[in-house]
Structure 1
């Protein structure tokens, strides 16, 4: 402001001088004004020089720090942190709350340029550090032994070498003893005593992203009286070792389950990760922001994190966690709560069908399709628009001496209780049948679900990859038909797959999908899902392979209905919108015919309730 005003004053003065007469300026008071302006201008120059000098010193320090490039992996939930970028030059900068109406726009603005504004906002947070000392690591004699100047072992947990005579500080190495992330404090079965407290596992329910345990706690006091209390432990297992979850869908679903499980008038919810700052802080902030959205129609992530860091240092430990908070809050703002119970299934069907158009907003991540788009692999794709993402594609073993033999158009898909429970793939082509059976063999799959006919409307949809009778060989694999049963809406075949003198039984389920549109009755689909579930339970829940022609439309519908049915049976609730959205994040174009398939998904689920 001072520089701008000075520039304006100088400009106006110059113009005035150019158009003034030759009369003395002392009488008009112009000379003192000129002296004042020049004085302010000189002071401004001195201020700028001092600022630039300070900035150069900071830049030299930054270059010195960045000469040692940080590793790609992120350290989280540890006592040490890696500051990959310098702190903001104005750490006291205040970021104002964001109205809900502007949340999406603000998120996209902050996420632009590789999340540059998110980094600036995160680095402006107050940094309240713990008092753990690293005196030995900071000694002048030991500085050259530290690869990174800001990653130093604490004195109380550093590894001590045997000292070498005559060499000071020779017992130092940049290494720390690390405890396990969390000591298990509950029994896997039965009871276990921890001091005066006896913990008994009453029930455990394992889902794909979290586990729910019912624990009975019995404490014996000094007077001999025993008090028993029930505690619900919600164990979120969907957080990766490094970074943050790929999508906030599972985190929000878990948070809702936590809220619903906490009885009224109970004590505070205990939240922990390893160090109790990174994931713990992220979870707490998301929970608080959802409440703020509802009560105040705005969010204040920066202000809330700043406050809680005064209560516990380093809560929300990394920039990725900070950005993930915004991502989760935006997800809730855009889509809200789309869960349904059985009673509200029909009443909210129309509203959710209209909401289904939002699924087109799920971005197709073409940058993660590099392997399938390699020239050597393009001919292995039936539809060039449906290519698996690199992060969850099925990788085959490479044939000796043959490049590019690890690719097949197939994606791992999470089920309701188990990660990678399904493999979504396209129908085999004539030159990929052996790859298909290699995948079945290497993944130890015992169930194949086929959702197409070999030909539909005069066009090939799938190459036959089994024998009508006897056996047939595909490269190193032999496939023999050992039995076939025709049910009302699907065919069931038992196939004996043999490789290197070892044989396995594979059950083949073929649902007779109509050539035009979805099935009119959901009963047949539910019957086949039940048959698949029974078979999977018998053989040990290895990945079930599901395919239609392109491996997206009908395949996505079948997997979605499987997840919905299993959740409805277990919880009495379902979420068609988020289930479908989650599938699209794992494989492009899953559930292609949006409204019609969406409507029939309800019909299939309703057929369960009509029993």
Structure 2
């Protein structure tokens, strides 16, 4: 196509050049302008050349409009021809797949974009010591260099004869995402069923391990039986799922009906038979970023049953409908869990999203390059993507996914694996308190310093920085990010009344489990109670006294007795009891516009001194336990947590809640990444080194109190 365009343009430019020469030097083209001795003698001295020979002027007057007309025709022809070529599409049987297609797209055909006529640029491996700087350079100018690098990738080529057979076309979720013949997974044929050996799935190599993965499309209703046949025949023990069953797309963002991305190929409970494979649910564990499901599968055969096998499905639920995850922390935790749960001698890990190339390729790349980092002290993303695209075209489907791979690798390189099991905590604390700065031993201060380097995203604080909203902040440096701020209903005719200085914060098992906020100011008390009502919170945790060191830290936003009204919200106090260092107050909250009444319980912790941190961790452990019990009784609506500014003590409480919940569930903890994750959701969470050290100390106290691990489950 490019060669045809160049030929056409060359012809046009040649014609245009001839026309210019003719107009510039018309005398060279007309015989009447050639001067001879005879006609010189016949010339009158008063005659001008134009009056003696009007031919050239006449030709110019005729040819100029004609040339303009021809030029317009040529340009129009070129334009329509170019449009026609741009509309060329790739049929499912084409051997070369297009590059740069949209993630998980629903269209039946994909526009074929012309690739650069220049040869592909070579990208070399990056030594680990240069990784941070290289990522910074590539990320500049809105990721321009990442896009250039991604667009230089070969799309992947091969033959797709099996996938294009008439009997198999309905088995493909997207007709332009097909497995290569040489690397496709071949099922054991079913007698009497043509093409029953086909499934849209491909073997993919790991860093050094051949066929470590199977990259598959999300099962369709017609292919669920084939999917479970594949899992059984390949002796796979682990399924990695990277899509939700239904998701919105950017093109259909205003459409309330999300699109099918994957058919649910497992029962919610009990058992179900898919073809001749019986699948029963053994266990389900729901966490904030992913869900773990355990299945027992067993073929039903005529001569009896084969031995059952345990299959673990790890379903990553935090991939947004559009783009990529905001931070790679959740994906790295998920990858580590996949590695931990996959048996060493099992078959390939089955990885799928919807099309089986975008998110699937991203996951496989992160796994492989982390292995490369350990083995070779370098990363070579470009080369590895190029290689696995020869096994399945279009692996890693967008430049955003390509950039996300680098972000995940950089996160892993900078911070490493900071996860601990409870048995090793004491030894780890001894290492942290070693103040030497030896290369492989960093002190507690160095670990906390890494946290303070987490960038505060001021560009995502636009709403809180509006002049009308800055008046609502106790500390102007601590305001919510736009992407997770708590939004109130707008009062009619009153601008900015949807704002409160409060942020949704993820819990261990549930997104937006907490609301971190500041202590109310006199003019924000009504907003505070509107938030309690509108977000149906039944639990408030307060971690400050109303005054400390003769300064107001929080105004009293509740009645000492009777009822008080703020706007449309009425608050009546029912009980006020002091239990050890915790005041427990019960309120009945009603709204004038609604008939419903709700019970809200406030836990006021008095054990935090004006300066420093609590002397021991038991009070905080008791507070967390009381709050969790309240949540179990009232449902898991957001827990509102505040101190004065809503960051230091608030962040410490939320961090400890998440850490201790994980210790109870898994016997694992990661103080560093827990606090880092909080700081990416609200600035300055866990504000001081003392508070950070306190998190470790409380966990150690918790383990000491419940030294028998069985007791904290």
Tell whether the 8 Å contact from 1:411 to 1:424 is kept in structure 2 after alignment. yes
Q: TM-score, structure 1 length as denominator? A: 0.79
Q: What is the RMSD of the two structures over their aligned residues, measured on CA atoms?
A: 2.7
Closer/same/farther in 2, CA of residues 345 and 82 from structure 1, 3 Å limit: farther
Between the aligned partners of 2:175 and 2:382, the Cα distance in structure 1 is 30
**Alignment of structure 1 residues 213-362 onto 2, 5 Å:** 213-349=293-429, 350=432, 351=442, 353=444, 354-362=446-454
Tell whether the 8 Å contact from 2:280 to 2:296 is kept in structure 1 after alignment. yes
Between the aligned partners of 2:647 and 2:177, the Cα distance in structure 1 is 55
Q: Which residue number in structure 2 is paired with residue 107 of structure 1?
A: 135
Is residue 407 from structure 1 mapped to residue 499 from structure 2 by the alignment? Answer: yes
**Alignment of structure 1 residues 85-484 onto 2, 5 Å:** 87=115, 90-128=118-156, 180-349=260-429, 350=432, 351=442, 353=444, 354-484=446-576
Closer/same/farther in 2, CA of residues 362 and 381 from structure 1, 3 Å limit: same
Between the aligned partners of 1:507 and 1:82, the Cα distance in structure 2 is 56
Q: Which residue number in structure 2 is paired with residue 507 of structure 1?
A: 601
**CA offsets 1:569-588 (integer angstroms, 9 cap, x no match):** 00000101011010010011
Tell whether the 8 Å contact from 1:523 to 1:607 is kept in structure 2 after alignment. yes
Between the aligned partners of 1:478 and 1:79, the Cα distance in structure 2 is 50
Q: For structure 1, which segment, 342-351 or 323-332, has the greater mean C-alpha deviation from structure 2 after superposition?
A: 342-351
Between the aligned partners of 1:89 and 1:510, the Cα distance in structure 2 is 69
Is residue 76 from structure 1 mapped to residue 103 from structure 2 by the alignment? Answer: yes
Closer/same/farther in 2, CA of residues 102 and 155 from structure 1, 3 Å limit: closer
Q: Which residue number in structure 2 is paired with residue 38 of structure 1?
A: none
Closer/same/farther in 2, CA of residues 339 and 437 from structure 1, 3 Å limit: same
Between the aligned partners of 1:196 and 1:107, the Cα distance in structure 2 is 49
Between the aligned partners of 2:357 and 2:177, the Cα distance in structure 1 is 21
Q: Could you say what secondary structure the match of 2:474 adopts? A: coil
Between the aligned partners of 2:535 and 2:602, the Cα distance in structure 1 is 16
Q: Could you say what secondary structure the match of 2:324 adopts? A: coil
Q: Which residue number in structure 2 is paired with residue 167 of structure 1?
A: none
Q: Could you say what secondary structure the match of 2:105 adopts? A: coil
Q: Which residue number in structure 2 is paired with residue 41 of structure 1?
A: none
Offset of residue 402 of structure 1: 1.1
Closer/same/farther in 2, CA of residues 252 and 483 from structure 1, 3 Å limit: same
Q: Which residue number in structure 2 is paired with residue 11 of structure 1?
A: none
Is residue 596 from structure 1 mapped to residue 690 from structure 2 by the alignment? Answer: yes
Closer/same/farther in 2, CA of residues 441 and 130 from structure 1, 3 Å limit: farther
Offset of residue 107 of structure 1: 0.5
Closer/same/farther in 2, CA of residues 115 and 84 from structure 1, 3 Å limit: farther
Between the aligned partners of 1:103 and 1:65, the Cα distance in structure 2 is 38
Closer/same/farther in 2, CA of residues 89 and 359 from structure 1, 3 Å limit: farther
Q: Which residue number in structure 2 is paired with residue 607 of structure 1?
A: 701
Aligned match for 1:559, one of 651, 654, 669: 654
Q: Could you say what secondary structure the match of 1:484 adopts? A: strand
Q: TM-score, structure 2 length as denominator? A: 0.68
Q: Which residue number in structure 2 is paired with residue 541 of structure 1?
A: 636
Q: Could you say what secondary structure the match of 2:279 adopts? A: strand
Closer/same/farther in 2, CA of residues 91 and 411 from structure 1, 3 Å limit: farther
Q: Could you say what secondary structure the match of 1:230 adopts? A: strand
Between the aligned partners of 2:119 and 2:151, the Cα distance in structure 1 is 7
Closer/same/farther in 2, CA of residues 231 and 352 from structure 1, 3 Å limit: farther
Between the aligned partners of 2:672 and 2:82, the Cα distance in structure 1 is 50
Offset of residue 180 of structure 1: 2.2
Between the aligned partners of 1:388 and 1:155, the Cα distance in structure 2 is 41
Q: Could you say what secondary structure the match of 1:270 adopts? A: strand
Between the aligned partners of 2:141 and 2:280, the Cα distance in structure 1 is 51
Between the aligned partners of 1:403 and 1:130, the Cα distance in structure 2 is 59
Which segments of structure 1 move beyond 6 Å, counting only runs of 4 or more? 81-86, 129-133, 152-156
Q: Which residue number in structure 2 is paired with residue 21 of structure 1?
A: none
Larger Rg: 2
Closer/same/farther in 2, CA of residues 125 and 61 from structure 1, 3 Å limit: farther
Q: Which residue number in structure 1 is paired with residue 582 of structure 2?
A: 490
Aligned match for 2:627, one of 493, 512, 532: 532
Tell whether the 8 Å contact from 2:156 to 2:386 is kept in structure 1 after alignment. no
Tell whether the 8 Å contact from 2:648 to 2:691 is kept in structure 1 after alignment. no
Between the aligned partners of 1:84 and 1:567, the Cα distance in structure 2 is 49
Q: Which residue number in structure 2 is paired with residue 18 of structure 1?
A: none
Tell whether the 8 Å contact from 1:78 to 1:274 is kept in structure 2 after alignment. no
Between the aligned partners of 1:436 and 1:78, the Cα distance in structure 2 is 42
**CA offsets 1:335-371 (integer angstroms, 9 cap, x no match):** 1000011121122221462322111221111111111
Offset of residue 412 of structure 1: 0.4
